[in-house]
């Protein structure tokens, strides 16, 4: 009998074990001792065989099944079918945490020129995909409505299926912009920073502008339906809002998916706010938020989720869950999606664009008027997986986790510091610790939320295997 390698981690009341394909169970230190000293007894091997952690020969069904599960934990980048377009850097707000990615509304020289727009259309026309997702970012993209219309018209003619997301602050929306947003293939992604008071403090500043935003949000939801509108809170760890006030604000507008994001300070702001590693405070807050959601969902008719936590939960419970660009393994840059900036420069990610803009490191990969230069990031891409990372290979969360080299470069200027010292690792270690704590909980409130979040009619306790 051969055992697939097990990684392990001490948890509250035992030891969590996981294999390379994401199979997991909980046991204790005496099993660990028997495992590491090759003294497994009959009941140990029976348990491991029964749960897919062992095989007889490399051509038996257990081995094939394990290989299949392992392979489906890996992300294989497909064709380029997702573009983030930045037609303008101009914005009609001046949020404190966004200084490096915007200029004032009337500043000339920060929009696509006609030449760049034409090149963007030619670039899109050269893609081999038949389905495309286009995300318009800024600045405030609705200030460049003509460019959005040109791109949308072109894409509708050119692709079999295309979807547009406008990342707008919904601050000042013209009649033409409302008409643009009304179409079925066009979605709104906006920011709602926690609650009315925080939104005013962090974004709109004046009460009048704040009311304007909340009025526009209300109108968008009423006219287009909740399925067309998403709102994301950006949370400042130095001024945290009570979780319940965020839940109340979002559910008050019928928004049931909340994607909590910490302020992503860049460049000088990162140093000024010592935001290089605020993961401890953030993790504690996020954990309290998840607990508040569980309490809310116990009684609520319509449940609420934290988007990224649910994404990570689903990555634990199933293979092939690769829908979030921030958490994939491998996470090859510049392949399945790309960013085109206001001046036509190409970037592998939006954070790479910021990093370049603050002068920290040039991570541009060409110009839309000439060509894509993926060779520039070849060396980086050679490291864009956790599979052979000397720290991650010992981590029970490796199969569910990913890698974010641009975040490491942005925070530390290098990608080779020990994983456990990185913000990425600290945040994900916390998230997976929290997930497993909940998975092994017998609290009916926890089980209700877990079932909802994982998309199951009810929680199956058989998922939480224990071997003692």
CB of 425 to ligand SF4, least distance (A): 3
CB of 193 to ligand SF4, least distance (A): 28
Q: For 28-100, where are the alpha helices, taking DSSP H only?
A: 29-36, 42-50, 61-72
CB of 467 to ligand SF4, least distance (A): 22
190 beta partners: 231
Nearest to 71 by CA among 63, 79, 60, 80: 63
133 beta partners: 82, 163
- Which stretch in 92-100, 126-134, 292-300, 425-433 sits in contact with ligand SF4 by CB under 6 A? 425-433
Q: Of the two residues 220 and 392, which places its CB atom closer to ligand SF4 in the complex?
A: 392
Site track 335-374 with ligand SF4 (rule: CB under 6 A), x = hit: ----------------------------------------
Q: Does 137 bind ligand SF4 (CB under 6 A)?
A: no
CB of 423 to ligand SF4, least distance (A): 10
d(CA 201, CA 136): 25
Q: Does 401 bind ligand SF4 (CB under 6 A)?
A: yes
Site track 402-421 with ligand SF4 (rule: CB under 6 A), x = hit: -----------------x--
CB of 326 to ligand SF4, least distance (A): 12
Helix (H, G, I), strand (E, B) or coil at 101: helix
* Residues from 427 through 446 that contact ligand SF4 (CB under 6 A): 428-429
d(CA 355, CA 339): 13
DSSP 3-state percent helix, strand, coil across the chain (nearest 5): 45, 15, 40
* Residues from 268 through 327 that contact ligand SF4 (CB under 6 A): none
The H or E element spanning position 190 is: strand 186-191
- Which stretch in 92-100, 133-141, 193-201, 394-402 sits in contact with ligand SF4 by CB under 6 A? 394-402
Q: Give the torsion sign (CA, 178, 180, 185, 189).
A: negative
**C-alpha distance across the termini of the chain, in Å:** 20
Number of residues forming the site for ligand SF4 (CB under 6 A): 11
CB of 44 to ligand SF4, least distance (A): 25
Helix (H, G, I), strand (E, B) or coil at 459: coil
Q: Of the two residues 190 and 398, which places its CB atom closer to ligand SF4 in the complex?
A: 398
186 beta partners: 164
Q: Of the two residues 12 and 211, which places its CB atom closer to ligand SF4 in the complex?
A: 12
Helix (H, G, I), strand (E, B) or coil at 359: coil
- Which stretch in 172-180, 195-203, 311-319, 423-431 sits in contact with ligand SF4 by CB under 6 A? 423-431
* Half-sphere exposure at residue 70, Cβ-oriented, CA atoms within 13 angstroms: 14
- Which stretch in 118-126, 246-254, 299-307, 391-399 sits in contact with ligand SF4 by CB under 6 A? 391-399
Q: Residue 114 to residues 76, 91, 120, 166: CA-CA distances in angstroms?
A: 36, 20, 10, 21
Out of 398, 434, 436, 459, point to the residue binding ligand SF4 (CB under 6 A). Answer: 398
d(CA 306, CA 299): 17
Q: Does 191 bind ligand SF4 (CB under 6 A)?
A: no
Q: Which residues bind ligand SF4 (CB under 6 A)?
A: 386, 391-392, 395, 397-398, 401, 419, 425, 428-429
């Amino acid at each position: 009998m051969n055992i697939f390698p097990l990684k392990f981690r001490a948890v509250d009341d035992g030891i969590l074990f996981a294999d390379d394909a994401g199979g997991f169970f909980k046991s204790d230190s005496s099993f660990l001792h028997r495992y590491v000293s090759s003294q497994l007894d009959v009941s140990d091997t029976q348990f491991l065989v029964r749960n897919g952690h062992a095989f007889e020969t490399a051509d038996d069904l257990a081995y094939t099944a394990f290989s299949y599960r392992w392979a489906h934990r890996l992300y294989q980048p497909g064709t380029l079918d997702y573009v983030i377009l930045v037609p303008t850097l101009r914005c009609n707000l001046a949020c404190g945490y966004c200084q490096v990615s915007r200029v004032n509304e009337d500043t000339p020289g920060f929009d696509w020129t006609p030449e760049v727009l034409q090149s963007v259309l030619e670039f899109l026309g050269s893609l081999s995909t038949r389905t495309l997702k286009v995300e318009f970012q800024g600045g405030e993209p609705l200030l460049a409505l003509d460019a959005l219309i040109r791109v949308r018209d072109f894409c509708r003619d050119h692709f079999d299926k295309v979807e547009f997301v406008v990342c707008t602050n919904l601050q000042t929306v013209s009649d033409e912009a409302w008409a643009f947003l009304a179409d079925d293939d066009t979605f709104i992604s906006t920011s709602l920073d926690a609650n009315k008071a925080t939104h005013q403090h962090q974004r709109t500043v004046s009460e009048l502008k704040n009311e304007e935003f909340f009025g526009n949000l209300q109108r968008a939801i009423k006219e287009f339906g909740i399925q067309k509108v998403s709102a994301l809170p950006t949370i400042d760890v130095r001024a945290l809002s009570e979780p319940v006030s965020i839940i109340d604000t979002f559910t008050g507008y019928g928004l049931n998916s909340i994607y909590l994001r910490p302020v992503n300070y860049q460049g000088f702001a990162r140093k000024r706010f010592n935001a290089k590693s605020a993961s401890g405070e953030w993790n504690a807050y996020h954990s309290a938020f998840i607990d508040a959601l569980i309490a809310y969902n116990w009684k609520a008719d319509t449940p609420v989720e934290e988007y990224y936590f649910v994404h990570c939960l689903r990555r634990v419970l199933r293979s092939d869950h690769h829908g979030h660009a921030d958490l994939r393994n491998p996470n090859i840059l510049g392949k399945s999606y790309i960013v085109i900036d206001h001046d036509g420069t190409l970037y592998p990610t939006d954070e790479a664009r910021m990093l370049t803009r603050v002068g920290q490191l040039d991570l541009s990969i060409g110009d839309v008027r000439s060509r894509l230069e993926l060779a520039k990031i070849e060396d980086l891409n050679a490291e864009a997986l956790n599979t052979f990372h000397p720290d991650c290979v010992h981590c029970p969360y490796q199969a569910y986790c990913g890698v974010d080299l641009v975040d490491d470069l942005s925070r530390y200027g290098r990608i080779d510091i020990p994983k456990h010292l990185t913000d990425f690792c600290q945040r994900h270690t916390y998230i997976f610790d929290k997930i497993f704590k909940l998975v092994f909980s017998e609290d009916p409130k926890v089980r209700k939320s877990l079932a909802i979040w994982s998309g199951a009619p009810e929680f199956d306790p058989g998922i939480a295997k224990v071997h003692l």
